[in-house]
Amino acid sequence: MKKILQTMLKGLVFAAGIAIAAWVFMPWKQLGEAVLQRADQRLGESSTIRYSSVESARGGFLVRDLDARLTLMGLPVTFSCKTLTVVPHVSGSLVNMAPTGGFSFTGAALGEIPVLLKKIPAITLGDGHITLSASRRQILLEDIRSGGELALAGAMALTPSDSRLIGWADLKINVKSEAFEQNLPSLQSALGLPLEQEGPGRWVLRRDRPADKKGGAKQ
């Protein structure tokens, strides 16, 4: 029995060593370029992803001058940033049974969003971070934080395949742009966002998780 345990332990150590070596010597630049190309193809003709370069980073890859033009619930949305660092989380992917990673960005901003006959002004997100986990059912965003004119802190789940965009949310929003805040009700109406104002410049995006619903509480 002792010899069997020793053999199993040696096998686990060897396997761990191989995994670590593969992780350390992963061609992150090439992997990053392949991921971005695949994402651009999957988004379709109405959305595009552009960037100036991809570099290897510790445990992941770094994208410079990213410009993503997406369609969200029928609205064109532009996200740009100076750098985006993507670090896959192996343990998180195993726990969530879905691809999981950390996304850190610098110099990020949202472009103008046309809503009916008006445009929601562009606004900066600054530097920040998101832990993202994507499955067929939902996109889970945790550890959300940004420090620009639109300062965010919290977590939320997107369900783009459903009739509503937000599955659940607990996100604090600090808006430092008066022009953007004045147009928030239009954006709220267009996307069906469960937004509540707590004071000047202070908002919260809140919807209970499905497991938290009680007695048919109104969502």
> 97-129: per-residue pLDDT in tens?
678 889 999 999 999 998 877 889 999 999 999
Q: What is the mean pLDDT of residues 191-200?
A: 91
Q: What is the mean pLDDT of residues 2-14?
A: 37
> 73-101: per-residue pLDDT in tens?
778 899 999 999 999 887 666 666 678 88
pTM: 0.79
Q: What separation in angstroms does the CA of 41 have from each of 46, 49, 54, 81, 87?
A: 11, 9, 17, 20, 21
CA angle 196, 200, 203 (to 5 degrees): 25
> 15-31: per-residue pLDDT in tens?
333 343 344 446 888 88
HEC readout, 133-202: EECCCCEEEEEEEECCCEEEEEEEEECCCCCCCEEEEEEEEEECCHHHHHCHHHHHHHHCCCEEEEECCE
Q: Which has more confidence, 197 or 92? A: 197
